[in-house]
C-alpha cells in the first residue's frame, strides 16, 4: 500500500483477520443454539443473539441460550477492530488521525452492543438507548472509515484496487443501514438488510488484511531483487 516497509503490517493484518473470524464463529455458534424458536438470518437481527432474556421484543420472539458467546464476539471484534485500525494508521500516509479515531469510535460501538443488549428488559430498565447508540457507532463508524480510506486510496496506483473495494462495500453498507431505518415496519426481512450493513465491515477488514499482506510481500520481493 502507499507505505514504506513497515513491520506493523503483518500484525495489523492478523488483527483484521482474527476479529471477523471470531465474530462470525460466535454468530454461527449462538444462532445454532436457538431451538424454540429457531434463529432466522433473514428475519432476526444480529443483536437478537445477544439478548440475555427470553421474550418478545419488537415483534420478534427471542430466546438465545448462548447469548454470552455472541456478546463476547461483539466485544472481541470491537477490541480487535480498534487495535487493527490504530496499527493501520501507523502504516499509511494520510488520514492517520481519522483512521485511528474512527476505529476507536467503532470499537466503542461494538463494546456497547456487547454490553447492553437489545431486549424487552433493556427497554424496561432504560439501557436500550445505549445498545442502539453502540450499533450506530459500530455500523456507521466501520462503513464511513472504509469509504473515506477508499476514496483516499483510489488516488494512488498502488492502492487503487483496495480503494475501489473499500468504496463499493462501504457504499453498500451505508445504503443498507439507510434502508433498514426506512423500512423498519414494512414487513421486509430486516435481519438480512441489517446484515448488509454489518457484513460489509467484515468484508472490508479481510480485504484490507489481504492488501497489507500483499504489500508486504511486494516490498520483500523488491528488497530481494535490489540486494541481489
Q: Tell me what pLDDT residue 86 has.
A: 96
Instruction: Report pLDDT digits (tens) over 130-145.
Output: 999 999 999 999 999 9
Beta bridge partner(s), residue 61:
56
Residue 222 has pLDDT above 80, yes or no: no
The whole model's pTM is what? Answer: 0.90
Encode pLDDT of 25-76 as tens digits: 999 999 999 999 999 999 999 999 999 999 999 889 999 999 999 999 999 9
Bond before 131 cis per omega within 30 degrees: no
- For 53-67, the pLDDT digits (tens) are 999 998 899 999 999
Task: Give tens-digit pLDDT for 92-133.
Answer: 888 899 999 999 999 999 999 999 998 888 888 999 999 999
Counting beta carbons within 10 angstroms of the beta carbon of residue 201, is it exposed (0 to 12), middle (13 to 18) or buried (19 or more)?
buried
Amino acid at each position: 500500500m502507499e507505505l514504506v516497509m513497515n513491520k506493523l503490517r503483518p500484525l495489523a493484518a492478523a488483527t483484521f483477520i482474527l476479529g471477523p473470524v471470531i465474530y462470525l464463529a460466535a454468530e454461527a455458534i449462538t444462532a445454532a443454539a436457538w431451538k424454540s424458536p429457531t434463529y432466522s438470518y433473514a428475519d432476526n437481527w444480529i443483536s437478537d443473539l445477544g439478548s440475555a432474556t427470553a421474550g418478545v421484543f419488537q415483534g420478534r420472539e427471542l430466546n438465545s441460550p448462548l447469548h454470552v458467546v455472541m456478546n463476547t464476539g461483539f466485544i472481541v471484534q470491537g477490541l480487535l477492530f480498534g487495535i487493527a485500525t490504530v496499527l493501520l494508521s501507523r502504516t499509511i500516509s494520510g488520514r492517520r488521525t481519522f483512521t485511528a479515531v474512527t476505529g476507536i469510535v467503532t470499537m466503542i460501538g461494538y463494546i456497547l452492543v456487547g454490553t447492553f443488549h437489545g431486549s424487552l428488559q433493556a427497554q424496561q430498565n432504560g439501557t436500550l438507548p445505549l445498545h442502539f447508540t453502540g450499533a450506530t457507532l459500530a455500523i456507521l463508524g466501520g462503513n464511513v472509515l472504509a469509504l473515506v480510506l477508499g476514496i483516499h486510496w483510489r488516488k494512488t496506483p498502488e492502492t487503487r484496487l483496495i480503494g475501489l473495494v473499500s468504496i463499493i462495500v462501504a457504499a453498500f453498507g451505508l445504503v443498507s443501514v439507510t434502508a433498514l431505518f426506512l423500512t423498519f415496519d414494512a414487513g421486509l426481512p430486516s435481519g438480512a438488510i441489517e446484515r448488509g450493513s454489518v457484513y460489509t465491515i467484515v468484508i472490508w477488514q479481510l480485504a484490507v488484511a489481504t492488501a497489507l499482506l500483499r504489500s508486504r510481500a511486494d516490498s520483500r520481493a523488491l528488497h530481494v531483487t535490489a540486494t541481489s
